Each structure stands twice: as structure tokens, then as C-alpha cells.
Structure 1
Amino acid sequence: MTKRIAFLASDARVAQTAREALVARYGHVAPRDADVVVALGGDGFMLHTLHGTQHLNTPVYGMNRGTIGFLMNAYTETDLMSRLAEAEEEVINPLIMTAMDQSGKKHEALAINEVSLLRAGPQAARLRIGVDGRVRMAELVCDGALLATPAGSTAYNYSAHGPIVPIGADVLALTPIAAFRPRRWRGALLPKRAQVRFEVIEADKRPVIVSADSVAFPDIDWVEIRSEPKVEHRILFDPGHGLEERLISEQFT
């Protein structure tokens, strides 16, 4: 059966040109009417597309027309229907973040890759870290810290020297960013069901910004993060090029 496809593209000219060619060849429907959404861009646009279509429960197949393409498949125009028919599906759960800023306002956001806290001034951040209601680190002096999903473990987490986590592992990676004290602390692997709380010590003097993927909030007082199993993102990959294979391959490059 011919699939109804919604083609979405980033603002980059190369992505827009690809979309025009694919729409001319395969047609186009609105995302709400599609059997599959094809995202054209890089990983940033893929995350944007997944967030924007999560209420539809429609699988997303990405083709790389951007800079980074860890979540994307190779771009071609001629055999899309057969590739979609043979594609393998990965289902991932995002993190849900609740944050309170210094004015007392609460913020919520979902993160497919990671939730990160970063210092927003010249002085290092001071963070208190709790897991499931128990303080595990009374003070971490650092540039920041992040909590990453397995799908996001090769992104910012890996750049911060955090571990790559297999896609099937029910764990989250808690990774410090430029830790000053304790200097040798390299982070922790936590159960997927864990609830992590960061409290900002001296928040007025040492301001911190929190980011859930690309959504950011300044002047944070505390942040709570947990996995959200009620939300599922369906991502399609060419056979043999799924997230599990990519996560393993990344460790041998």
C-alpha cells in the first residue's frame, strides 16, 4: 500500500530543495493525515520534528540534509517507498523536566536527548544533587551537569565525557560538565525510573540556565527530571542502521 507522506524540512536551502524534489515525486499530505513523516535536515531538526509530532503517534523517518545526522538516514530521492517499507522502528521515551525559577514560576518541557544545567555567569555553578528524594551529592562545583537518555548519550553527554548508553538499557547518564569539586567525579548511571533533583546553591549569585533539548529557561532555583514512559517517539531507520548499531559503532570510531 502506498504510504501517505508528510515532508518537513529545516530552513536550510539544501533541505528546502530536497523537499521540493520529494514532494514533486511522491506528493505530500499534512502531518495529521500522514502514515509517516519524513524530516529533512540535521539532528536538531529531527528533534524539533519529533517534539512537534508527538501528539500524532506517527513514525518519523529522517534523511540527512544538515550538518549532523546521527538520528538521520542517508539522503536519496529514488527509492523512498521501498526504504520506508523496509525501515526498522525504534521507540524511545523522553525525559520530562519541571523547573522552578527564582521568581517562583514553574516551567515544564520534554527532552529527547538531555536536560542540561549550565552556569550563566562568570562564577562556577554550585549544585546539590538528589536521587529519589535522597541527597547523593551535597555540592558539585562545576560549569554544569546534564541527564541524558540512551538516545542522547552520544550528543552533548558524550562531548562532556559521559558514557555511551546502549539503546536497550533502562538507565540514564548523569554527567558533570567541567567539574571543579569533586574534581575526579565522572558522573553516574541511574535507573530509568529514577527521579533526579538539582538544587542551585546561591542561585542569585551564581545563576544557572536549564535547557531541555533546545528549550531553555534562565535563573533556575531547582530542577526535577524523570523519564516519561507515557510519551513515545517512533523513529524509523534503514535496516542495519538503527540506534543500537549506531551507538555501538560510535564507540569504535
Structure 2
Amino acid sequence: MPAAPPPPGPRRGKRLGLVVHPTRDVLAQASLVLDWARAHGGEVAVLRADAARFGERGGDVVLDEEEFAATVDAVVSLGGDGTMLGALRLLVGRGVPVLGVNLGHLGFLVELEPRELPGALERITAGDFTVEPHLCLRLSAPGREAVAFNDVALARTPGRGAVVAALSVAGQRIGYLRCDAVVLATPTGSTAYSYAAGGPVVSPGADALVVTPVAPMSGIARPIVLGVDEPVRLELLESSGAPVLELDGVASGELPVGSAVEVSVQRDAGHVIRLDPSGHGRRSRVKLSLLDLPLLPDEMLELVPHGVRRPEQPRQEDPHPPRRG
């Protein structure tokens, strides 16, 4: 998906939304956004569920989700990819650009580190950015309608048996799956659950939908890449266990055996602010390669020469060194 020209950045008097990680300490970064907005004659809107997190600083406006999504001109997401995905789901189809600040771990979707936030806000004001459009998955299941920007998964509930589902594409039955989970992923989500299950990495510029079986036992055993105009239907067969429905990694209740899940793709559903698209792409490729290393984060630090390590990252000594002699 090529980057689109940016809409006008938040100008004087505009409303900037703030979406934050549910548990991390975000006060320092949130205060920076509040101070910047007030200095530029704007205001900051926060969600009612988050208002108490900011203490006396507060937001200029406290809104419920519906009014927040309908009235903000741009949004800053403080957290990791999960927080960013939550912001995109909240704003789906509204054309509101979202800037992601990484307070998490690797972060494939978010672009900025906290130290880069002040300069990024100035560039957004000047309109010096591009917008990366993202497609989403629209799901219809018994009693629920939902969207996901990374993936939809039907995951085995422990003790309930494998997921057994008939797969239809564009109205045509193509086979069945018997596995621990079925993952339907967007190009953005191809580096998440689907990738961990052996699925392909799909370029963010591609219009595609990936169907990946997790730990297949019989039936379709390889990932399938579909076009975005090919809606998918998964019908749980009588021999299936009752799986948990997951949307972007968040559990959304069990699905009864015999029910069907229908998933279609919506183009141009979310808009991510990019200040350095090529640099972000290079960093994402490096982060993806790190996932394949058989090392924990502390062990990877041992690969970094002492002279170039950050002062706050001293050598990690093994608390249980091997016995000698």
C-alpha cells in the first residue's frame, strides 16, 4: 500500500487525541503532548477510561470512545503495537492519522522512540509526514461484529479438542482444517501470530489475506495467500472443540460448535503517520531477523561490544554460573 499524501496536520485550535497503554507509566510522554498542544493553541482529548491515569495533568477534554473517534483530528498512541492496534480499531474508517510512540519491546507498527516525540509533533504541525493506509479484517460471527488490523484467530481451548473447520473462499468450499488454531492475517499481521506459525511475511504494500493453520493434524496443512476481494468463511464442524475467538491477540469469547465465522477485507481502514517510511522499513526487517535468533534479550546484549553499550545496559552476569572442576 503506497503512502498517501498527508492530510493537514493539527493546526491551531485542533483537537489531538491521546491513546495510552493500559498499565505502563506514560505520564512523562503524555505531559509532553499536553504541553505541546497547549503551546500551539490546540487541545488534547483523552478517553474516559484513561482520565484517572494522568492525575492533576488531566486532558483538556475527557470523552467516551464514540465522541473521541468522531472529533479528534489526529491521535498519538503511547505504548506498543497493541496500543497502536487499539487506536486503529477505535478510529476504523474515519481517516484519522495515528502516530505511534514505542514504549514496548520490538514494536513493528509503531515508529518513534520517546526521545523523538517533540520533533515529530513539530513535523506533524507542518504537514511534513506521509500517511500509510492499512486494511483491516471485518468479522461477522454469531452475536458479534468486529474488526482487526493484525489478525483474527480461532484458537483451541485447552481440554476442548482441536479446531476443525470447513474453509470456503468467495463462496466455494476448498477443504477443511484440523489444527490447534486458524489464523487469518493482514499484511501488517503477517509478522505476528501467522509468522510464528510458519506463515509468510507479506509486504505492507500488498493487498492480501493469509490463512495459516497452527500445528495442523490433517486437512489443509500449509498457509494460503488470498486476494482481498475473496471473503472467507470458516464453519466449525461437529467434531470440533469450541475455540476462543481472538482479535488482534485479544480474546473475545468462545465460539459454539456449528457456528460460522465470515471475514472480509476493508481497504483504507486505518491511517498510520510515517515520518521516515524507508527507515522504519529497515528497522522492521532487523527486528524481524532478531526474532529468529535463539537468544533471550539479555543474551543478545552479550553480542554487543562493551564500548558501544549504553551506560544503562551493564553486562549481565549469570546469577548461576556453571560449576567448575
Q: TM-score range by the shorter chain?
A: 0.7 to 0.9
Asked if the contact 2:32/2:118 (under 8 Å) is kept, the reply is no
Q: How does 1:213-232 map to 2 (within 5 A)?
A: 213=248, 214=250, 216-220=252-256, 221-229=259-267, 232=269
Q: Shift of the alpha carbon at 1:69? A: 1.7
The match for 1:80 is 120
Asked if the contact 1:14/1:65 (under 8 Å) is kept, the reply is no
Structure number with the higher helix fraction is 2
Q: How does 1:179-190 map to 2 (within 5 A)?
A: 179-182=216-219, 185-190=221-226
Distance 1:124 1:13, change over 3 A: closer
Alignment-mate amino acid for residue 212 of structure 2? T
Pairing 1:202–2:233 present: no
Tell me, in whole angstroms, the C-alpha distance in 2 between the residues paired with 1:115 and 1:202: 21
TM-score (norm 2): 0.68
Query: Radius of gyration: which is bigger?
Result: 2
Distance 1:130 1:164, change over 3 A: same
Tell me, in whole angstroms, the C-alpha distance in 1 between the residues paired with 2:164 and 2:10: 55
Higher relative contact order (CA 8 A, sep 6+): 1
Q: 5+ residue gaps in structure 2?
A: 1-8, 46-67, 291-325
Instruction: Provide the alpha-carbon RMSD of the alignment.
Output: 2.5
Q: How does 1:63-74 map to 2 (within 5 A)?
A: 63-73=101-111, 74=113
Alignment-mate amino acid for residue 8 of structure 1? V
Pairing 1:193–2:204 present: no
Tell me, in whole angstroms, the C-alpha distance in 1 between the residues paired with 2:30 and 2:266: 32
TM-score (norm 1): 0.85
Q: Secondary structure at the match of 2:188?
A: coil
Q: Shift of the alpha carbon at 1:68? A: 4.1
Q: 5+ residue gaps in structure 1?
A: 101-105
Distance 1:161 1:246, change over 3 A: farther
State which drifts further: 18-27 or 86-95: 18-27
Q: Secondary structure at the match of 1:66?
A: coil
Asked if the contact 1:90/1:243 (under 8 Å) is kept, the reply is no
Identity %: 29
Asked if the contact 2:162/2:180 (under 8 Å) is kept, the reply is yes
The match for 1:236 is 273
Tell me, in whole angstroms, the C-alpha distance in 2 between the residues paired with 1:12 and 1:67: 14
State which drifts further: 9-18 or 153-162: 9-18
Structure number with the higher strand fraction is 1
